[in-house]
Every structure is written in structure tokens, then in C-alpha cells.
Amino acid sequence: MRQLVDTVFHQLDIAIRSVHHMMDQLSEEDLAKQPIPDKRSNQEMLSHLALICKADWLIMNEATQVQMDEFYRLHTPNTLEEMKQALTAHHAALIQAFSGFTLEQLLETKTSYWGVTYTRYEWLLEVLCHVVHHRGQLYTLLCEHVKTPKVVLFE
């Protein structure tokens, strides 16, 4: 099971690294753009991406909706530098936490506040999918409305 977890870590590393590369090519002015009315601005998208590893960790550990609302209210980064720091820190903390789980712990089920039940391993897969999903959205938004980022999305 450890090898399976390590392969997910590897793919998550690739995704996080590519988000960092996109962030490195943006200015604070680029963040203010909201390419699609009534959808997230570039800043909101990047802030969300920066928090996924921590937010999904909290959800996996059965945080309530009230606790999640408070987490987002208190921890949403606003500048590119804050987003980079949050993305890096939350990614590292997630890897460290999952590295310590035994097989039994990885197979233990946890339920989200909206009622979805997954094993911890499935929650780790969900984090990967969540990051990759929003990374793809960000890439598309930047290509269509800012500039095509010079970034490798897959190895």
C-alpha cells in the first residue's frame, strides 16, 4: 500500500509544481481578472488551489461545514506570495501526515460533512483529482484570457 500512496504523492507533486510554475508567470494585476462573469476570478481560483490540500485534509478528518467556513474565512491567501506559501506548506503537511498512516489507517473510512464516505486512501485520491481539476481550469482561463503559460502539465 505504501507504494500506491507514494505514486499518488508523485502525481500530486507534479500537479503542485505546475501550479507554482503558472503562478510564477503571473502578476498581481493578472489576479484581478475575472474571465467568466459569475465565476471565480484568477485570484479566487489560485486562492482555492492553494488551500485544497489543507481543506480536503480537514474535510477528511470530519470537519463540519461551520469549521470549514471559518477555515476559509481565516486562511484564504490574497497575494501571489501568500498563495505560493500556502500551497507549499499545505502540500508538505499533507504528504507528511499521510506518510505516517498504517495500512489499517489508510483503509479507515471517514465521512464528509455532506455525507460522502471514503477511505483515507480514497480521500488522498480525491485531493489529487481536486488539484488537477482546478489546475486544468486555471490553465484554460490563463490561455484564453491572460497569456498561455509556459508549463508542463504532465510528465
Parallel, antiparallel, or unpaired for β 109-111 and 117-119? Answer: antiparallel
pLDDT for 121 equals 97
Residue that has been written with the C-alpha cell 480536503 in this structure: 56
Q: What is the pLDDT along the chain (155 residues), one digit of tens a residue?
A: 778 999 999 999 999 999 999 999 999 888 888 888 888 889 999 999 999 999 999 999 999 999 999 999 999 999 999 999 999 999 999 999 999 999 999 999 999 999 999 999 999 999 999 999 999 999 998 998 888 999 989 98
Phi first, then psi: what are they for 153, rounded to 5°?
A: -90, -25
Identify which of 131, 5, 1 has the alpha carbon closest to the alpha carbon of residue 56. Answer: 131
Q: What is the pTM of this model?
A: 0.93
Mutual angle of helices 2-24 and 80-99, in 10-degree steps? 170
**CB-CB neighbours of 130 under 10 Å:** 17
